[in-house]
Amino acid sequence: IDVLAAVKTVVFDKTGTLTRGVFKVKEVVNLNGFSKSRLLEFAAAAELQSNHPIAVSIMAAFNEAGRELDPALISDHADIAGQGVKARYGEHSVMVGNDSLLHLKSIDHPQCEFDGTVSHIVVDGSYAGYITIDDEIKPDAESALKSLRQQGVEQVVMLTGDNACAAGAVANRLGIDSFYADLLPEDKVNIFEKLTRQKSGDGKIAFVGDGINDAPVLARADVGVAMGALGSDAAVETADVGLMNDSPLKM
């Protein structure tokens, strides 16, 4: 409680913390010969074994179309930390992930910046299209940040693995002082260490997050706050404080 009272900087994760983290597929855009239906099938096959919220939204869209996958056709599934997933689906190799994955694998693609969250799809080494996915800002997030400032917090920062355009839209809406986007899990720790070194005087720094990738930063913060209801077990166990209804207003 004493440390919380001295917090001058609060660093937030974005997805599931300031936003609902409940994604919904908005549009499937096919660019390289496959139909939209087939493209969604490839994405669902690659994401079948993932429990990431974006993967769940892709599977939900596929299932809502009344379709089913044959698990026997899916093999060699692997997570690519902070960037996406890959798998074999029948005779095809499939990757689904963010823009940094495309650059890592040297995949030619026509567009890097989008207004929202995007999952890019690569089939047999060629860019096949993308899926746009919606996430909503939590209704009490703006009030929570205003309340923190009224209580003496001087700086609010956001860290996210999402693209800069999507992150910027959330930051502008909520009046966040600065944000860092396109981050891998280890990048979050490095940025947080930098912010810790920059803090002034005796002011403390808090981190608020919900994911398994947030656990190292939660452990490093003067005060780690986890979203207890929807947060990962690792985040909740590492944090000093758990918000049981996942509302940032309860900080």
Alpha carbons 88 and 171: distance in angstroms, whole number = 37
Residue 194 burial class via C-beta count within 10 angstroms: exposed 0-12, middle 13-18, buried 19 and up: exposed
Which tokens in the block code for residue 124?
Answer: 């047999």
Alpha carbons 111 and 120: distance in angstroms, whole number = 10
Residue 152 burial class via C-beta count within 10 angstroms: exposed 0-12, middle 13-18, buried 19 and up: exposed
Alpha carbons 80 and 55: distance in angstroms, whole number = 13
Instruction: Tell me which amino acid residue 85 is.
Output: V
Which tokens in the block code for residue 190?
Answer: 């490095």
Q: Is 13 a catalytic residue?
A: yes
Alpha carbons 233 and 101: distance in angstroms, whole number = 27
Alpha carbons 127 and 44: distance in angstroms, whole number = 16
* Annotated catalytic residue within 2, 13, 70, 233: 13
Q: Which residues are catalytic?
A: 13
